[in-house]
Each structure stands twice: as structure tokens, then as C-alpha cells.
């Protein structure tokens, strides 16, 4: 049995080195570079491991600008076989509805797949809606928040999904779409060989015309939701900070805390 896996990934601004501006309380975004959505790395790793176990191939795809080729190459460097860039000016401003339509059509176009693996959510848009949306468009079984793949046979896949009070065990036929959480895998680093392969690999580009997309379904025009206002809230709260040095200091700080909790009716 071979598994062909398609993984939609997103390129997002890297946030791990981002600092907060202590004056304004906002994020300092200067010189922020783009990376693969960190939560998509778990999907990529899970996909590569399945390929290693069963054979088949892993295709990563992303809808984004030309520069998103970098994310696809990074995924290839980790061990994915192919990257496909879905890129067109007409895609700009797509919300999760239009994005999942576009990606589902791209996945149909790639074709011959057994499994689609998506990240739980992207760290910029932060909705987690695109994975379920793609499954709905493709009308294939969906499991979200998958933390473990228990078994795959020619007929079905059995997975565990993390819910509020435990893990639900679901069984469904292939092809299916899973969105995965961190518990599913421990992402590897790119190897030297992988990087070499990524450098020479061609990344084909698919446009709206290539995919014969319904124009009224894509980009800003095809998006049911519209952003009408953007605000920058202060992140800082300017709360009270007390020092607890020495036994006296600790006692006083604890008394202050009790007064705070009382005042806010928390005790």
C-alpha cells in the first residue's frame, strides 16, 4: 500500500524573535522574516513519517505570493517530494472561504491523493477554518485536532482527536483530511541532502486560469467576510507590581495580593 499525501502549508511572519515595544505596548515588526507556519511543521513531519512507513509521496502546496516558494523549498528540504505554488494576483484578499475553495480546487488538480494533512491553524490569521473548509469543498471525511494516527489500512484510517475532555477515536475511509496538533509529531530539521534537493527542484506555479477557477469565488471579491476596521490594542495592562525580598517583603507582598484578590472578588 502506498500513500499519496498533500499538505497545504502557509507562509507567515516569524514571531519567535519579535519583541514588544515597552512604550507603545505593540509588537515590533521590523525586519520580521517569513517562515512556514510553525503549526504546519507538525503536519509536514507526520506526512514524511507516513511516507517513510508506507511509501508514496508527499506534495506540499501553498497559496501565496511568489516569495512563498521559499516555504515550499524548506518543506522539500525536510523531506517532502514536491512543492506547488498556487499564485495569482486575483487571489489577494481571500478569506478562509475563498482560500479553502482555491486550495480544494488545487488539490483536485494535483489529484490521486489518499490523505490531506493541514495545520491546526495559521499563526497569523489564526482561524483554523481553512482545513475543515477544504474537507467540506472536497466532500471527504474530516478529523480535526488529530494527535495520533492509530492505524491505516487500505480501507480506512483510525485517528485520535484531542477534545475538551479526552481523545475521541474516529475511523473513516480514505481519502480523508486531518488537521493535526503538536502532539502528533516532532518536526525534524532539514538535512544537507534535503537542502541540495530543494535548491534544484522546480516549483510549478498554478494560476486561477490553470485551475479554471470560478472567478466570483476567489480573492477579495469571492470572500463573504470583509475587514472594515483594524485597531491596535495596547497589550500592556499597567498593573501593580510588588517586590518580595526577604521574609518581611514576602509577607507584605502576599498581603497585597490577598487585598487585590479580595478587591476583585476573586476570593
Partner 1 sequence: MSYVWTIAEQSKGKLREVSFELLSRGRKLADKMDTKLCSVLLGSNVSDETLQELIYRGADEVYFIDDPQLENFIVETHSNVLSDLIKTYHPHSILAAATSSGRTLMPYVAIQVSTGLTADCTELDIEEGTNHLLQTRPAIGGNIMATIKTPSHNPQMATVRPKSSRPLPLDTSREGKIIRLVLKDELVDHRVKMVGFRKDVEEFVNIEEAEVVIAGGKGMKKQENFALLRDLAKHFDGVLGASRDAVDRGWLPYPHQIGLSGKTISPKLYICAGISGSIQHLAGIKTSEYIVAINQDQDANIFQLADFGIVGNLFEVIPKINARLEAYKKEAK
Ligand X SMILES: Nc1ncnc2c1ncn2[C@@H]1O[C@H](COP(=O)(O)O)[C@@H](O)[C@H]1O
Ligand Y SMILES: Cc1cc2nc3c(=O)[nH]c(=O)nc-3n(C[C@H](O)[C@H](O)[C@H](O)COP(=O)(O)OP(=O)(O)OC[C@H]3O[C@@H](n4cnc5c(N)ncnc54)[C@H](O)[C@@H]3O)c2cc1C
Binding partner selected for residue 235 from ligand X, partner 1, ligand Y, none, CB under the kind-specific 5 to 8 Å limit: partner 1
Binding partner selected for residue 4 from ligand X, ligand Y, partner 1, none, CB under the kind-specific 5 to 8 Å limit: none
User: Helix, strand or coil for residue 79?
Assistant: coil
Distance CA 178, CA 109 (A): 19
User: 183, exposed or middle or buried, with CB in 10 Å at 0-12, 13-18, 19+?
Assistant: middle
CB of 176 to ligand X, least distance (A): 15
Q: How far is CA 176 from CA 155, 173, 190, in A?
A: 11, 7, 27
CB of 214 to ligand X, least distance (A): 18
Distance CA 88, CA 103 (A): 13
CB of 25 to ligand X, least distance (A): 25
Q: How far is CA 98 from CA 67, 85, 95, 205, in A?
A: 21, 16, 5, 18
Q: Does 207 bind partner 1 (CB under 8 A)?
A: no
By C-beta, is 38 or 190 nearer to ligand Y? 38
User: Helix, strand or coil for residue 235?
Assistant: coil
Region from 123-131, 207-215, 230-238, 249-257 binding ligand X, contact rule CB under 6 A: 123-131
Q: Does 38 bind ligand Y (CB under 6 A)?
A: yes
Q: Does 187 bind ligand Y (CB under 6 A)?
A: no
By C-beta, is 36 or 203 nearer to ligand Y? 36
User: Helix, strand or coil for residue 244?
Assistant: coil
Binding to ligand X (CB under 6 A) within 80-99 occurs at: 96, 99
By C-beta, is 128 or 194 nearer to partner 1? 128
Pick from 86, 160, 213, 218 the residue near partner 1 by CB under 8 A: 160
Amino acid at each position: 500500500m502506498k500513500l499519496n499525501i498533500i499538505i497545504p502549508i502557509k507562509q507567515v511572519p516569524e514571531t519567535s524573535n519579535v519583541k514588544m515595544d515597552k512604550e507603545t505596548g505593540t509588537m515590533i515588526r521590523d525586519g520580521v522574516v517569513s517562515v512556514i507556519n510553525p503549526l504546519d511543521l507538525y503536519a509536514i513531519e507526520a506526512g514524511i513519517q507516513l511516507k517513510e512507513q508506507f511509501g508514496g509521496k508527499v506534495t506540499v502546496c501553498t497559496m501565496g505570493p511568489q516569495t512563498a516558494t521559499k516555504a515550499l523549498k524548506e518543506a522539500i528540504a525536510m523531506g517532502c517530494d514536491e512543492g506547488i505554488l498556487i499564485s495569482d494576483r486575483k487571489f489577494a484578499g481571500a478569506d478562509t472561504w475563498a482560500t479553502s475553495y482555491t486550495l480544494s480546487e488545487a488539490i483536485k488538480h494535483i489529484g490521486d491523493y489518499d490523505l490531506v494533512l493541514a495545520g491546526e491553524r495559521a499563526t497569523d490569521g489564526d482561524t483554523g477554518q481553512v482545513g475543515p473548509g477544504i474537507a467540506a469543498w472536497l466532500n471527504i471525511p474530516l478529523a480535526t485536532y488529530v494527535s495520533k494516527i492509530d492505524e491505516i489500512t487500505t480501507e480506512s484510517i483510525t485517528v485520535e482527536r484531542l477534545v475538551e475532555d479526552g481523545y475521541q477515536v474516529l475511523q473513516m475511509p480514505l481519502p480523508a483530511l486531518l488537521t493535526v496538533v503538536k502532539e502528533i509529531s516532532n518536526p525534524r530539521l532539514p538535512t544537507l541532502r534535503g537542502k541540495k534537493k530543494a535548491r534544484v527542484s522546480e516549483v510549478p506555479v498554478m494560476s486561477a486560469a490553470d485551475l479554471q477557477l470560478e472567478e466570483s469565488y476567489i480573492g477579495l471579491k469571492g470572500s463573504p467576510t470583509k475587514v472594515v476596521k483594524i485597531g491596535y490594542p495596547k497589550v500592556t495592562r499597567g498593573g501593580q507590581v510588588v517586590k518580595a525580598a526577604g521574609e518581611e517583603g514576602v509577607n507584605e507582598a502576599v498581603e497585597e495580593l490577598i487585598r487585590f484578590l479580595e478587591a476583585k472578588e476573586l476570593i
